[in-house]
Structure 1
Amino acid sequence: MRNELFTKEKERQLSLYPRIEKIEVKYTGKSHPGSVFVMNKALSTPYNCAMHLSEWHCKKSVLALVDGEVWDMYRPLTKSCEIQFLTFKDEDPEEVNKAYWRSCAMIMASVLKRAFKDEYSVNLVKAPEVPVISGAFCYDIILDNRLNDWKPTKDNFRSLTRDASKLIDKDLPFETLHVEAKVAREMFQNNKYKMEIIDQKASQNKEGIVVLHRFGDFVDVSEGPHIPRTSFCFQYEITAAHNLQTSQSELIWRFQGVSLPIHLKAHHTVWHKLLERSKRLVTEEKSAKAAAESHEAKDETEGIGGRCMDKRDYKIKKNLLLISFSFLLNSYQV
């Protein structure tokens, strides 16, 4: 039902533009600066703009900056604007990293929702916003209380990972939809945790708008932005499940995983280290501390910390800190 309601609302919003209106989109990136594209209002997306530039822009662009706002590649443009594109190998990939981790967590949520079939109930709670340097993306769920004593095995995680790989191989696009809170509530009326998130998100803007994302037939409440397609994931594994001690009567499971994108493949020995690290319980508190430390280290490489390094050490350390997923390697403790 949720998927059908998403489609219905998307079609309704498109019907608000019965006549195609044109907008001008000015590209402000390094290549082809000043290029102007005439696009269709509420229909054309940043990806359509990338198609006017090159195949490289289509394949490498993870997010767009639209008038300075971070934007999904498949989110329609609604007015004339300036645009540039963000990739995994930008000097500062922070927003791209966040989007990737967020999307990996959403893929995992889709897998978990289906994994237990109809035999056991699964309630999706939330995807904690944790930085890449935390070592794992996460999604919190509540399982049927008959599974409270369940101890997931390696085979269980392998099975979950296989299901995720199937979704990744389907090359599914992440779609964005901004809806009124009442529409979101109708979609998630049977999930009290999502209803709480919807009310919270709606209260944060005067229009009461909630942002939804979909890939395939899976819909979730997520501000985004997300990566363009599931195929941007390359190495991907679901690695751990921890019981969280909370004041709630229901037991919350935090599932964790790790992934590297197609543009940043790692040697198998490095990947093994990342897998082991991703099994440690990730908490918001630890993640905040790790993120703060990484920013301090980044400042240090830029001369703010005042410690002297020769040019070679400076270049190595700066690359470790600024090239997307080397954050994980830089923080890995042998």
Structure 2
Amino acid sequence: MNHHVKLFYSRRLSTLSNVQVSQTNKLSINEIREKRLSIFDKELKRQQALITRLEKIEVSFKGLNNESTTLIMNKGVSTPFNCAQHINELLTKQSVVAEINGEVWDMHRPIPSDCTLKLLHMKAEDPQQASLVNKTFWRSCSFLLGAVIENSFEDDVPAVLHSFPPANVRSGSFVHDVYLNLESWVPTQNDLRKIAATFQKFIRNNMIFQRLDIDSTLALKMFEDNVFKAEQIPHIATKSNSGQSVTVYRVGDHIDISRGPMIASTSLVGRCSIASVHKLESGIYRFQGVALPSDIYINHFAFGILESRARKQNPARIPELSAKT
């Protein structure tokens, strides 16, 4: 590794100047992201163009204290967030995820037909709803962690996102498993703080989670630069209703695969810490973090307990690694 590269790495993550990396001629992460965004935007416009005329649907909103409101919305266009806009501003800020006819539903996902709507927030009193919201929050944090990790390494050390396990709040940490072309890397506390600072900066942009269901062939084109996603996509598609579609989400310039649902926007994420990184097998590193919703506050000592728990290696299944970069 030449001296210039060492200095660049030291400004990013200090420990990277002490590890072995191999040089590659692959596209930069910025070029990869631009290509994925182009495919996403083109497909979104194509799907939107399929709606040639607006049809009205009835949305029966069920709120607190059995309040009920019927809204006339646009089929395949209006979203739960749009419904919240018609009710009151507080709902647009607090609602994390929706329920459409009892099915958990993204706030910015179009509603396809007449339905009953509930809007869930982070302080849900019903235990089942609280569990749904917590899992959605944890899953979204794993997604965001992947976005941040990709930007925490220079192109000479490509961070290839593998996957993140199902949300499990009881595990103590949200997780993203990433392939790094590093023989051995043990990040310092300063490295972890830098990643956490990048995470905080990213979420402050108040970006929404956009969901898009795409054909598996298009998904393969979108993720052709990621050998792990290319391997996973055919299997993921077989589990879809059509047997050939894949769900992707976009936040800002980052796109990844997930069945979802996700939270409405990054503004719902508050205090965050990247607690640890554990090396697993075959170059896979498990990044672990802990975060609080933006409207929940605890003191420094209590958050320290959560951080301590999140440092222990998350027990989620270690991903199988058959594809090679």
Structure 1-normalised TM-score? Answer: 0.81
* 1:261 maps to which of 286, 290, 293: 293
Return 26-35 or 93-102, whichever deviates more. Answer: 26-35
- What is the rounded CA distance, in whole Å, between the counterparts of 1:240 and 1:284 in structure 2? 15
Does the CA contact (< 8 Å) of 1:10 and 1:177 recur in 2? Answer: yes
* 1:122 maps to which of 159, 164, 172: 159
- What is the rounded CA distance, in whole Å, between the counterparts of 2:317 and 2:255 in structure 1? 28
In the other structure, the counterpart of 2:111 is 77
In the other structure, the counterpart of 1:209 is 245
Does the CA contact (< 8 Å) of 1:28 and 1:35 recur in 2? Answer: yes
Alignment of 1:231 onto 2:263: no
- Aligned residue for 1:74, secondary structure, equals coil
In the other structure, the counterpart of 2:63 is 29
Alignment of 1:96 onto 2:133: yes
Query: Aligned letter for 1:180?
Result: D
Deviation at 1:196, TM superposition (A): 2.6
Q: How do 1:3-18 and structure 2 match up within 5 A?
A: 3-18=37-52
- What is the rounded CA distance, in whole Å, between the counterparts of 2:245 and 2:86 in structure 1? 32
Q: Deviations over 1:95-141 (max 9, x none)?
A: 11111111111111011111112121221000111411111000000
Q: What do you get for the CA RMSD once the two structures are aligned?
A: 1.5
Query: Aligned letter for 1:107?
Result: L
Does the CA contact (< 8 Å) of 1:3 and 1:217 recur in 2? Answer: yes
Q: Structure 1 residues 37, 113: closer, same or farther in 2, change over 3 A? A: same
Tell me the percent identity: 36
Q: How many residues of Structure 1 are paired with residues of Structure 2 in the alignment? A: 280
Deviation at 1:260, TM superposition (A): 0.4
Q: How do 1:55-66 and structure 2 match up within 5 A?
A: 55-66=89-100
* 1:108 maps to which of 137, 145, 163: 145
- What is the rounded CA distance, in whole Å, between the counterparts of 1:163 and 1:33 in structure 2? 41
- What is the rounded CA distance, in whole Å, between the counterparts of 2:65 and 2:113 in structure 1? 23
Alignment of 1:194 onto 2:229: yes
In the other structure, the counterpart of 2:199 is 164
- What is the rounded CA distance, in whole Å, between the counterparts of 2:240 and 2:278 in structure 1? 34
Deviation at 1:74, TM superposition (A): 0.6
In the other structure, the counterpart of 2:258 is 222
Does the CA contact (< 8 Å) of 1:64 and 1:72 recur in 2? Answer: yes
Does the CA contact (< 8 Å) of 1:130 and 1:284 recur in 2? Answer: no
- What is the rounded CA distance, in whole Å, between the counterparts of 1:28 and 1:62 in structure 2? 16
Structure 2-normalised TM-score? Answer: 0.83
Deviation at 1:29, TM superposition (A): 2.6
Query: Aligned letter for 2:186?
Result: K
Structure 2 unaligned regions, length at least 5: 1-34, 319-325
Alignment of 1:52 onto 2:89: no
Deviation at 1:33, TM superposition (A): 2.9
Deviation at 1:17, TM superposition (A): 0.4
- What is the rounded CA distance, in whole Å, between the counterparts of 1:194 and 1:265 in structure 2? 37
- What is the rounded CA distance, in whole Å, between the counterparts of 1:205 and 1:47 in structure 2? 25
Q: Structure 1 residues 81, 6: closer, same or farther in 2, change over 3 A? A: same
- Aligned residue for 1:115, secondary structure, equals coil
Deviation at 1:32, TM superposition (A): 6.8
Q: Structure 1 residues 34, 217: closer, same or farther in 2, change over 3 A? A: same
* 2:218 maps to which of 183, 187, 197: 183
- Aligned residue for 2:151, secondary structure, equals helix
Query: Aligned letter for 1:63?
Result: V
Q: Deviations over 1:177-204 (max 9, x none)?
A: 0111111111011212112322122101
Does the CA contact (< 8 Å) of 1:174 and 1:226 recur in 2? Answer: yes
- What is the rounded CA distance, in whole Å, between the counterparts of 2:229 and 2:249 in structure 1? 13
Deviation at 1:278, TM superposition (A): 0.6
Q: Deviations over 1:215-234 (max 9, x none)?
A: 00100001110111111111
